[in-house]
C-alpha cells in the first residue's frame, strides 16, 4: 500500500466538508457576481445613451453629476450585494441548519470510523457501513479544505460534488507527507478543484 490512514470523523469534520462544498458551489459565486455588476453595467449603458442623445454645456454638467452619482451608487451596490450574500447565504448557518435537520430526522451524517488505503490502482475503504474497493480513477475531483482533503467520487448533473471522502489533515505526519499524497491523488484524479 502506498498510503494507509486510520481515523475517526466527528460532527465538526462533516460540518467542514459540507461548508467547503457549499462555499465552492459554482452557481452561488456566479449569481453573486452577476448581481454585483448589474447596476454598474445598466448605469453605464444609460450614461452612454444620454451622451449620444444630447450635447450642450448644461447637459454636460448634468452628465458629470450623473457619472459621480453612478460611481457612488455602483460602489455601494457592489458591497451591499456582498454583504447581502454573506448575511443571508452564509454557509455556516445554512450548513448547521441542514445538519441539525438531518439529525432530527434520525439521518446518519456519515460513517465515523475509517481505514482507507491507496495503492497504484485501487482505493480501499473499511468503515462502519462496510468494505469497498474501487479504482482510484473513479474520483472525479479533489479539493483541499482548511482541515482535510476531500476526494469526490460523485458529481451532480451540474458538475458539482455530491459525495466524497474526507481525509483529515491529522492523518499526515508532516506537510511533505500531505503534499506527497496530494500529488499522488491529483495524478490519479481526472479533475482538480483548486
pTM: 0.65
Q: Is the pLDDT of residue 191 over 60?
A: no
pLDDT tens digits along 21-43: 777 766 666 666 676 677 677 77
168 in the same domain as 106: yes
In this prediction, residue 65 has a pLDDT band, given cuts at 50, 70 and 90, of: confident
Return the pLDDT at 170.
93
Number of Cβ atoms within 10 Å of the Cβ of 139: 22
pLDDT tens digits along 143-152: 888 899 988 8
pLDDT tens digits along 109-138: 676 889 999 988 899 999 888 898 988 888
Find the CATH number of the domain harbouring 147: 2.30.29
In total, how many domains does the chain have?
A: 2
Angle (deg, nearest 10), helices 57-88 and 26-53: 170
Q: Which residue has the higher pLDDT, 162 or 8?
A: 8
In a domain, 18, yes or no: no
Number of Cβ atoms within 10 Å of the Cβ of 121: 10
In a domain, 65, yes or no: yes
Amino acid at each position: 500500500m502506498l498510503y494507509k490512514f486510520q481515523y475517526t470523523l466527528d460532527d465538526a469534520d462533516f460540518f467542514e466538508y459540507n461548508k467547503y462544498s457549499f462555499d465552492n458551489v459554482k452557481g452561488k459565486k456566479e449569481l453573486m457576481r452577476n448581481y454585483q455588476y448589474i447596476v454598474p453595467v445598466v448605469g453605464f449603458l444609460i450614461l452612454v445613451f444620454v451622451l449620444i442623445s444630447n450635447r450642450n454645456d448644461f447637459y454636460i454638467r448634468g452628465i458629470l453629476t450623473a457619472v459621480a452619482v453612478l460611481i457612488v451608487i455602483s460602489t455601494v451596490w457592489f458591497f451591499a450585494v456582498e454583504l447581502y450574500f454573506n448575511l443571508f447565504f452564509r454557509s455556516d448557518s445554512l450548513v448547521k441548519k441542514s445538519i441539525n435537520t438531518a439529525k432530527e430526522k434520525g439521518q446518519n451524517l456519515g460513517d465515523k470510523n475509517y481505514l482507507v488505503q491507496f495503492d497504484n490502482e485501487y482505493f480501499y475503504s473499511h468503515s462502519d457501513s462496510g468494505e469497498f474497493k474501487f479504482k482510484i480513477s473513479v474520483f472525479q475531483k479533489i479539493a483541499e479544505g482548511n482541515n482535510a482533503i476531500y476526494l469526490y467520487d460523485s458529481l451532480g448533473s451540474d458538475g458539482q460534488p455530491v459525495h466524497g471522502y474526507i481525509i483529515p489533515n491529522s492523518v499526515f505526519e508532516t506537510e511533505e507527507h500531505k503534499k506527497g499524497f496530494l500529488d499522488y491523488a491529483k495524478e490519479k484524479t481526472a479533475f482538480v478543484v483548486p
